[in-house]
Structure 1
């Protein structure tokens, strides 16, 4: 039991998984589930030496905040955060080649990064509410907004050593019963880590990297009942989850009680309608303390007896601006949802098209702007419709810049339809849908039909090649003599 302290991985890379395995055994006696956290710096950049906690010790939020503060005070201010959906120490013991089986190791890039690091720190048992607050703690310390990235986006970004940045890379986790699915996904996540480390190395900017998760992937024993331990006031998050489900059921009940079809938002210039907006659901979310707080704007925008406030809207032949005004949204007394559109003639297609140039959130004097012109467009005579318009999960809206406050927001518009030009009789024109005609389902049907046609054609061709004999044997007559040579 001499390994009471966690070794620095840059010195003993082969002992990485073994130490985690040992500490997992020691910490499994606790009733609370934890996630590991690994922190390291780029080659040539050092952070203050920090004594790792003793074996079996669970790092809570206050202690984790102290670790991060010491690392960021003198270490690099560019932080690369790999935030996985789920992770436990068992993932390293099962898939990390713990007993010398290096061919089974799915973390070669992580191990290489730790080996080349100037300094590193491993916390195998961090309470998962503390790991949830990592983003908020780093954001408060660096005084910068998190940027949700992928390797392709990072390759186009130019970092500055003197300007702090928080780059967040979300990594999935396998949820299936097949253990190989989790192994494959962890291997893909390690490939992402390798790509990011390679890009950061080419930019020659010092950085601090953190690898952790939002919650544990393995729940065992009594922890299965209360693995979501309370963060404040001693109340468990299991009860909070029940309250959330109850509120969600109540919200769904109210949605069902609303009429299925309601009038769109309408803005008139004089006596004629020039702007129309309709959606099944409008919602916005803001990131606070590592959690997304959502607010549904639907009931304040649509429905019987609801009169949305659209003052500030305008429209002409080339530009249109729809402003929806709200009050007391997510703690902001004044809140505006703004849609900016424009139309112009394109010589290539020989017709006019309109684009949704931006969606803007204006709250208490601050503006968060999403660009939409690259993905949201339609012929000027049509309306635009899409089943889902968001800035995440196949985003159609993109933050205007890396430092724009839009990086702290999520917008989600379901069954969205908008028209800013050529509105006739207060009704939407023909809708140009965002989904292409050849959807994956259509392509699958076409390929299957083509395969069946090819098989049928081959079969018919083989049948047509069959030939009957030109002579037949008569049992009552003499036998047919077939000469053996020509």
Structure 2
């Protein structure tokens, strides 16, 4: 059992110098600078329990990327022997460079944007730091905690946290979302990180005052910065074992795609998927991707289906109020002209306890035996959105990236052949056709002029005066 004053970085026990606690965060860059930061985020864990032991994993090396299976191996021991109250600080974006750029150096907590986090790590009997974790592992973290502890994640804030009464025996998973800005200016970013650190400090003070044993986790959904892959620079890193290089290349594979939403009665009836699903109400934005796709506990109460009408209802708790209901309404009709059935997306409805709005789709249609797919579906007119709201204008904005839906003739729970929203004559094709026609016109006109060109047969001016020159000189 590691004594107090020690922590662990990626499975190795490291003595933490009491005089220089910020160097613990600065040391994160050393093991992450060898790989690209794309789709990799740090994860920091600390606990109020001393009786924790995380066994080191085999085949770990400099620049190692923690996968979802390895992360579960780390957390299994901490959750089985540690406190049953888990506090998850989930930031939208975070990279290892944020700690080194805005953290304190040589114990200077006054200028550090992570002073409360550094103090929590310094005072915690046990802590674990993983410099590079696969984003897919973070996306499945809430599902893992729910399955491991048997408690659904409860999204809370500072106000509701004070009203909760936590128990030492009953498990609880509390989720706090921390914002992140991508605006210009380093000071703006530092202010946001400092504000998030103050939230962490206030929450930890609340737990400490109530004497509740806990395990806290800080991580992010995606990286805030993309660092050039140094392994591609010839001769910059020296020699590396071939086996280790092969392992790093294997871990750089893209994470699996989240499974689509599937409504079934006797068999799958409605399928819905998007690479990213975001919802904005006034100035409040929320990314619903991880709450919607790949989540078996998604509430689909109210959904219905028959051969001519389909309704997919998604219900979220404690989002934009006590509840958020999103309803997709589709219908199928037979058209004698084309001798086939076509389905259309009639509207998308959003309901909360304070407001409701309906969006009408202008071009979401496809044969009923196909699915519909579009790269970008949004309410933003500036981005060629195809969603029209009623009433208009509305404070709600919806954005789907790589949107795909099918409500009829689903076979085997998989999407059928997709009818894409992109037309055959795209703007680039039209520009090419116009340029070709213009050049063809110029060529035809030039050829016509050349064919009608006539050579002059004489050079005399019939209207001019004739000039006569005498050939013999005159004698005086």
Q: TM-score scaled to structure 1, two decimals?
A: 0.49
Q: TM-score scaled to structure 2, two decimals?
A: 0.50
Give 1 or 2 for the bigger CA radius of gyration: 2
